[in-house]
């Protein structure tokens, strides 16, 4: 008859294990953080973003109206999703590829372009991300240039007007050095602790009286101490 064996984990033992190996885990965290920083600095290509904003109108001509109603604003906000599909279509982006002489396909370019509504308003933001900041700005500018005519031609109603022309940030948006260093350090710390924890759990040696009781279910009747007997002067062995 086989008895089910259960392993009891003492939180105190885990705390002592953590405390005992804290310096080693901190050292592992520092090493991993350094590796993460070097990898981010030298092996990951920085990415830049170019942004442009446009405002969406539900009607092409609203010059005769004194004010814009809430229904028209709601309608224009909903049109942002429609316009984003149009401006990321192969018709628009293939023209951008041809005009700029880009060595990429439509599928490659469309992954770099995103068009979103700003805070659920009728303002539409065009964002292009690329390793070359100048190229990102040129692509965004090309889309902005095509937007008014393409919207009128496709939707037959409504329009877009440019709020801000395409401009690119001076600093890369990714990768984040601080974020990657922090993540690498945490991974190193936890990985080192996991190694010590697994070694502790797989250790079958009896280190204390409680180990004998917990693992074998036996009561310790006595302990033979280990005593070193000092060697007497003039005593010869052998």
Which CATH number does the domain housing residue 156 bear? Answer: 3.30.70.1130
Tell me which residues of the chain have a pLDDT lower than 70: 1-10, 58-77, 156-158, 203-238
Of 130, 149, 168, the domain-final residue = 168
User: Residue 52's domain spans which residues?
Assistant: 48-168
- Asked if 148 and 183 sit in the same domain, the reply is no
- pLDDT for the residue numbered 1: 43
Does a structural domain hold residue 228? Answer: no
Q: What is the pLDDT of residue 152?
A: 83
CB 144 within 8 A of CB 166: yes
* pLDDT tens figures, 121-147: 888 999 999 999 999 999 999 999 999
Rounded CA-CA distance 143/3 in Å is 72
List CB contacts of 49: < 8 A, sequence separation 6 or more: 127, 128, 129, 136, 168, 169, 173
Same domain, 61 and 145: yes
Q: Residue for token digits 């004010």? A: 67
User: 114 and 58 share a domain?
Assistant: yes
Residue 82: which residues within 8 A CB-CB, separation 6 or more?
155
My answer on whether 193 and 160 are in the same domain is no
Same-domain status, 148 and 55? yes
Same domain for 34 and 57, yes or no, is no
Contact of 177 with 189, CB cutoff 8 Å: no
Q: Are 162 and 123 in contact (CB under 8 A)?
A: no
- Residue 60: per-residue pLDDT: 44
Q: How many domains does the chain have?
A: 2
Kindly report the pTM of this predicted structure. Answer: 0.67
What is the distance, to the nearest Å, from the Cα of residue 209 to the centroid of all Cα atoms in its chain?
Answer: 48
> Are both 117 and 206 inside the same structural domain?
no
Query: What are the structure tokens assigned to 173, written together?
Result: 């948006």
Q: In this predicted structure, what is the pLDDT of residue 64?
A: 46
Are 110 and 92 within 8 A, CB to CB? Answer: no
Domain shared by 110 and 210, yes or no = no
């Amino acid at each position: 008859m086989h008895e089910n064996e259960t392993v009891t984990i003492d939180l105190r033992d885990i705390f002592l294990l953590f405390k005992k190996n804290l310096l080693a885990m901190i050292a592992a965290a520092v090493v991993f953080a350094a590796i993460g920083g070097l990898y981010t600095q030298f092996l990951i290509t920085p990415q830049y973003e170019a942004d442009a904003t446009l405002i969406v109108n539900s009607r092409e001509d609203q010059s005769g109206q004194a004010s814009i109603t809430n229904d028209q604003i709601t309608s224009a906000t909903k049109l942002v999703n429609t316009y984003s599909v149009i401006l990321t279509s192969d018709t628009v982006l293939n023209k951008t590829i041809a005009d700029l002489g880009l060595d990429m396909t439509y599928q490659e370019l469309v992954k770099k372009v995103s068009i979103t509504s700003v805070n659920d308003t009728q303002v539409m933001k065009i964002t292009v991300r690329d390793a070359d900041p100048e190229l990102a700005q040129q692509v965004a500018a090309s889309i902005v240039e095509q937007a008014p005519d393409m919207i009128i031609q496709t939707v037959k109603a409504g329009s877009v007007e440019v709020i801000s022309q395409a401009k690119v940030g001076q600093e890369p948006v990714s990768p984040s050095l601080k974020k990657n260093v922090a993540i690498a350090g945490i991974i190193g710390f936890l990985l080192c602790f996991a190694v010590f924890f697994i070694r502790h759990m797989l250790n079958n040696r009896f280190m204390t009286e409680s180990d004998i009781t917990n693992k074998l279910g036996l009561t310790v009747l006595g302990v033979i101490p280990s005593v070193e007997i000092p060697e007497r002067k003039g005593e010869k062995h052998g």
